[in-house]
């Protein structure tokens, strides 16, 4: 039995499409094999989950990879890592803002969503300020300020101010400026002050 010309043509298209789909799948699998570990770490930093237990980070990464795979043929020279990272950040920020709270804990737990994204992209990923600003959707100057504030917050959390002797006596009524003549009711009035 012979196939008509249209059927033969249709069968050839299906075979070519199948071949393209297999090539696309191989390319994507190769990309995922090389980049998934680092992208999962970025997702875990964003969600604030510990490295040993990352269900939210894994879900975030799977969603970002699915979007990248859907656009795979349209990337045309664009770095798939950058595209997937962009998807990660966009989806993280959207879900963090919808929930109206800080995501996760850990070292970055005290930071808001934009601060966390700025620190992860600038400090961990080494992204340029312009690229970070574009991903967050803010001007470069504002992004720079957010990153500086976040770094200051992290620095202060890691290096708490040393306690002073005065701090040790707060609330005990034993202030070093107490005046014993006033019955321990506070510091003595300054010289020349009116009574």
Q: What is the per-residue pLDDT for 11? A: 65
Q: What is the spatial distance between Cα 104 and Cα 111, in angstroms, rounded to a whole number?
A: 10
Measure Cα distances from 147 to 90, 112, 164 in Å: 17, 11, 30
Residue 164 has pLDDT above 90, yes or no: no
Let me know: does 58 contact 43? Beta carbons within 8 Å: yes
Helices 55-70, 80-99: crossing angle, 10 deg rounding: 130
| Contact by Cβ (8 Å): 145, 151 | no
Question: Sorting pLDDT into bands at 50, 70 and 90, what band is 18?
Answer: confident
- Whether residue 64 is predicted with pLDDT greater than 90 in this model: the reply is yes
What is the DSSP track for 16-62? HHHHHHHHHHHHHHHHHHHHHHHHHHHHHHHHT--TT--HHHHHHHH
What average pLDDT does range 2-19 have in this prediction?
A: 63
pLDDT value of position 21: 83
State yes or no: pLDDT of 5 exceeds 80. no
pTM over 0.75: no
Residue 103 has pLDDT above 80, yes or no: no
Joined together, the tokens standing for residue 193 give 């002050």
- Residues sharing a CB contact under 8 Å with residue 144, sequence separation 6 or more, in sequence order: 129
**Does the pLDDT of residue 170 top 60, yes or no?**
no
């Amino acid at each position: 039995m012979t196939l008509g010309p249209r059927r033969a043509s249709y069968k050839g298209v299906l075979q070519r499409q199948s071949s393209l789909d297999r090539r696309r799948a191989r390319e994507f699998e190769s990309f995922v094999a090389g980049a998934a570990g680092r992208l999962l770490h970025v997702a875990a930093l964003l969600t604030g989950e510990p490295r040993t237990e990352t269900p939210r980070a894994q879900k975030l990464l799977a969603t970002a990879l699915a979007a990248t795979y859907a656009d795979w043929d349209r990337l045309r020279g664009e770095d798939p890592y950058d595209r997937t990272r962009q998807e990660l950040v966009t989806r993280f920020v959207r879900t963090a803002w919808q929930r109206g709270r800080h995501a996760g804990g850990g070292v970055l737990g005290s930071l808001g969503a934009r601060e966390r994204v700025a620190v992860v992209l600038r400090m961990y990923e080494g992204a340029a300020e312009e690229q970070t600003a574009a991903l967050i959707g803010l001007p470069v100057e504002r992004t720079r300020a957010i990153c500086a504030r976040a770094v200051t917050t992290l620095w202060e959390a890691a290096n708490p101010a040393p306690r002073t002797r005065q701090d040790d006596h707060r609330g005990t009524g034993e202030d070093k400026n107490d005046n014993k003549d006033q019955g321990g009711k506070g510091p003595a009035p300054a010289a020349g002050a009116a009574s």
